[in-house]
Amino acid sequence: MTKLFKTIHNVETDEIQQVPLTSEDLAMIESDKAEAELMKSQEAKAKADKEAAQAKLAALGLTADDLKALGL
């Protein structure tokens, strides 16, 4: 496995260090990836739900503006 590093740049001294990632860093990266995938799937579901609702309204001959006018 390739060893992963993080770069730390001290702007006061302009020193740049390459520090190996710790197991906590790697766990955080995996957690962030899982959270991003969850958010992506939730957004896809919301989009599909919205499209399904619009299709149902279209089948009834209604638009979102019609529902707003009716106060729904």
pLDDT tens for each residue of 37-52: 999 999 999 999 999 9
Categorize the per-residue pLDDT at 54 as very low, low, confident or very high, splitting at 50, 70 and 90: confident
* Alpha-carbon gap, residue 59 to 52, rounded angstroms: 11
Look up residue 44 and give its two tokens: 């896809």
Between 1 and 14, whose confidence is greater? Answer: 14
Between 68 and 41, whose confidence is greater? Answer: 41
Parse the chain into domains and list their residue ranges.
5-70
pTM: 0.62
Q: Does the structure show a pLDDT above 90 at 23?
A: yes
